[in-house]
Structure 1
Amino acid sequence: MINSYAGLDDAEVAIAAARAGADVVRDLYGQRLARVDKGAGDFATAADLEAERTILGVIRSARPDDAVLGEEGGQQGAAEAARQWLVDPLCGTLNYAVGNMLVAVNVALRDGAAAVADPFSGEVFFTDGATAGVRHDGADVRLTPTSATQLVDVNLDPPFPSAPGFRAVDLLAHAGFVERFRPRVVSTTLALAWVAAGKRAAYVTDGGDLSGSVHFAAGIALCRAAGCVVTGIDGAPIGRAGRGLVVAADAETHELLMSMIRSRAGDAGQPPAVRPEARS
Structure 2
Amino acid sequence: MINSSAGSDDAEVAIAGARAGADVVRTLYGQRLTRVDKGDGDFATAADIQAEQAILDVIRTARPEDAVLGEEGGRHGAADAERRWLVDPLCGTLNYAVGSMLVAVNVALRGGAAAVADPFSGEVFGTDGTSAWVRQDGADAPLVPTPATQLVDVNLDPPFPGAPGFRAVDLLAHPDFSARFRPRVVSTTLALAWVAAGKRAAYVTDGGDLSGSVHFAAGIALCRAAGCVVTGIDGAPLGQAGRGLLAAADADTHGQLMSMIRGGG
- Using structure 1 for the length normalisation, give the TM-score: 0.91
Runs of 4+ more than 2 Å apart: none
User: Alpha-carbon deviation of 1:167?
Assistant: 1.2
**Amino acid corresponding to residue 256 of structure 1 in structure 2:** Q
- The structure that has the greater radius of gyration is 1
Matched, 1:102 2:102: yes
Deviates more, 1:167-176 or 1:151-160: 167-176
One-letter identity of the residue aligned with 2:237: P
Alignment of 1:138-153 (within 5 A): 138-153=138-153
Shift of 1:169: 1.8
Alignment of 1:117-132 (within 5 A): 117-132=117-132
Once the two structures are TM-superposed, the CA of residue 78 in structure 1 deviates from its matched residue by 2.2
In 2, distance between residues paired with 1:256 and 1:209? 22
Q: Could you say which residue in structure 2 is the equivalent of 1:199?
A: 199
RMSD: 0.7
Alignment of 1:55-94 (within 5 A): 55-94=55-94
What is the DSSP-based 3-state SS (H/G/I as helix, E as strand, rest coil) of the residue aligned with 1:234?
A: coil
**Which residue pairs with 2:3 in the alignment?**
none
Q: Which residue in 2 is equivalent to 1:179?
A: 179
Aligned residue identity for 2:108: A
Amino acid corresponding to residue 190 of structure 1 in structure 2: L
Identity over aligned pairs, percent = 83
Secondary structure, counterpart of 2:49 in structure 1: helix
Q: Deviations over 1:56-84 (max 9, x none)?
A: 00000000000000000001112331000
* Partner secondary structure for residue 9 of structure 1: helix
CA distance in 2, matches of 1:147, 1:79: 41
Unaligned runs of 5+ in 1: 1-7, 266-280
Q: Deviations over 1:155-182 (max 9, x none)?
A: 0001111100001221111000000000
Amino acid at match of 1:156: L
Q: Tell me the amino acid that sits aligned with residue 53 of structure 1.
A: Q
Provide Cα deviations, 1:193-227, integer angstroms capped at 9, x if missing partner.
00000000000000000000000000000000000
Query: How far apart are the structure 1 equivalents of 2:213 and 2:223?
Result: 15
Counterpart of 2:24 in structure 1 is 24
Which amino acid in 1 is paired with 2:208? G
Unaligned runs of 5+ residues in structure 2 are 1-7
List per-residue Cα deviations over 1:27-63 (Å, max 9, x = no partner).
0000000000000000000000000000000000000
CA distance in 1, matches of 2:39, 2:145: 37
Aligned residue in 2 for 1:229 = 229
> If the length of structure 2 is used for normalisation, what is the TM-score?
0.97
Q: Distance in 1 between matches of 2:135 and 2:250?
A: 23
Q: How many residues align?
A: 258
What is the CA deviation profile of residues 95-123 of structure 1, one whole-angstrom value per residue up to 9, with x for unaligned ones? Answer: 00000000000000000000000000000
CA apart distance, 1:134: 0.2
Equivalent residue letter for 1:238: L
